[in-house]
Chain A
């Protein structure tokens, strides 16, 4: 896909005072999105040694973003500042559509990455990002929305729990 929110019109439900504006990411956004994705991965590093960030993380981020922006089964959104910060990319969302061969409903939307620069957090921005992402995933056929994040990330846990999410699948790991 080239647009995240076909039919979902990100931005349409945007509250007036929101310090960011959300829109589908374009290939030209990639240089601005890479450091944001890497910052998110570096934060994940805090939670578990198995989430240690690789040296080539930047290159990987560029590749993942390029592929995802072109993938009709992915949703990539860029958050821009408003006012003086207009045109400055301050956040990103990356989500994918997955089939569920054994379960019903048969299609789920998985939010893999949400990141906002610290200055743009709070003021209900997270809520707004989640709402827009969910709408974009729904427009692509998802009837379930799933959020993936490190199990030790209590801030994310609280954020999703407050919005009706509950744990349904646990992933446990050990080194080999």
Chain B
């Protein structure tokens, strides 16, 4: 294990690394531009990414006497007598809304609902491909949290769950809390819960690897946005000592004596509550002061490789754990973190080891809660999913470069789904109470079906083959 007091990297090596880093960054930028061009071409060619496909046989128009009127009236009466039957007799059980106001989309910021649509379509595709979940992209034109809440509440009868996406902090906290309170279905905000759950899964394994335990660990969270506020809450739920938990934002350590706290109580009561609960973990000052002797740094802040510097990490306890999760560029490059003594480094990127990726969490969690027809999705379900994900990496053999399963280890997902469903049952929230093995089997079938479906559509040419770059026929796929 590397020590935090390791010899400083000499200037020559550092500048060579910087030059290599610059070249790599330029290459990555070029590749990103090329991907962008190609994505526009293909979006024009396919004219969108998802569509509605019938799931019942239609042999002739006569079958509509069953699927539609007059037969369907009896189905309606059954649901009228017991609205929960809508989870059995319609596609509601497997259908979720992907709701956004377009106020904080990817790294693009406040781009509005129409511009958010391709991102939500992409998310719907991920939900289907990885989780077998039918997801409907729903960008909503409003800036008001109350209007968004009212709109989603009115749409809820059509859905078995709601995934909130790319909504700015801090309004995302109130929207999630209020919808979770009002709706009889699971409501999730991926930028909070998905990221926090994946982070916690990786952290649990990093703690195991470095012989630490969550109750005695001193942790610094850099960035106090959607992800880290949720991570802080879940860490406290896991038994992390609030006196050893320090949040740091642009103004430094978040503690109860900070002059902006009154303003926070007004505008961001979630951050305010964490400030009171942790009171800076007994610290004040800047990031450097926060990191003194800390075991863990979880950074979810500014995409700039100089946000965290080697000298910051050298102040940490020996063999520290460093998660630099900003995308597309981590707060410190992994090699710089390792050179500064980090024992374990994770990022949000797939081109480095230990990718903390919310795609490891959200399709499986929804698979699980939908199969359980859950009424909500409390933190216990989120933590159960995180623990299961961690356990699977452990089964495969933990190492400093294998903290979490990769996206290729798809056999993990049904297990995470079943763990989420079990947790919903344990909390008394499941409309469908099944055994663990039954949930696992259902998840395997549903998740496997999507890939088969996509392949079958391609084989039959119902989905046209992907055109070569720049050989695109305009006007959609028909």
Contact of B266 with A by CB under 8 A = yes
Which stretch from B81-89, B255-263, B285-293 is at the chain A interface?
Answer: B255-263
Q: Are B275 and A118 in contact (CB under 8 A)?
A: yes
A-B contact count (CB 8 A): 32
Q: Are B262 and A119 in contact (CB under 8 A)?
A: no
B262 contact set on A, CB distance < 8 A = 39-40, 42-43, 46, 118
Most chain A CB atoms below 10 A, which of B257, B259, B262: B262
Contact of A117 with B by CB under 8 A = yes
- Count of chain B residues with Cβ under 8 Å from any Cβ of A? 13
Checking A40, A42, A118 against B265 with a beta-carbon cut-off of 8 angstroms, the contacting residue is: A118
A169 contact set on B, CB distance < 8 A = none
Q: Are A118 and B276 in contact (CB under 8 A)?
A: yes
The residue of chain A having its C-beta at the shortest distance from the C-beta of B263 within the complex is: A46
Q: In whole angstroms, what is the CA distance A43 to B259 when docked?
A: 9
Q: What distance in Å separates the Cβ of A7 from its nearest Cβ neighbour in chain B?
A: 33
A42 contact set on B, CB distance < 8 A = 259, 262
Per-residue interface assignment for chain B, residues 249 to 292, with 1 indicating a CB less than 8 Å from any chain A CB and 0 otherwise:
00000001101011101110000100110010000000000000
B275 contact set on A, CB distance < 8 A = 118
Q: In whole angstroms, what is the CA distance A121 to B261 when docked?
A: 12
Contact of A155 with B by CB under 8 A = yes
Interface secondary structure of B, over-half rule: helix
Residues of A113-169 at the interface with B, using a CB-CB cut-off of 8 Å, are: 117-119, 121, 153-155
Checking B256, B266, B276 against A46 with a beta-carbon cut-off of 8 angstroms, the contacting residue is: B266
Q: What distance in Å separates the Cβ of B312 from its nearest Cβ neighbour in chain A?
A: 27
Q: In whole angstroms, what is the CA distance A42 to B103 when docked?
A: 29
Q: In whole angstroms, what is the CA distance A119 to B264 when docked?
A: 13
Q: Are B263 and A119 in contact (CB under 8 A)?
A: no
Q: Are B266 and A155 in contact (CB under 8 A)?
A: yes
Q: What distance in Å separates the Cβ of B266 from its nearest Cβ neighbour in chain A?
A: 6
Q: In whole angstroms, what is the CA distance A39 to B256 when docked?
A: 13
Q: What distance in Å separates the Cβ of A155 from its nearest Cβ neighbour in chain B?
A: 7
A39 in contact with B257 given A118-B272, A118-B275, A119-B279 (CB within 8 Å): no
9 A-B residue pairs with Cβ-Cβ distance under 8 Å, sorted by A, are A46-B267, A118-B261, A118-B265, A118-B272, A118-B275, A119-B257, A121-B265, A121-B276, A155-B266
Binding site for A on B (CB under 8 A): 256-257, 259, 261-263, 265-267, 272, 275-276, 279
List 5 extra interface pairs beyond A119-B256, A119-B279, A155-B265, CB under 8 A: A43-B266, A46-B262, A118-B272, A118-B275, A153-B266
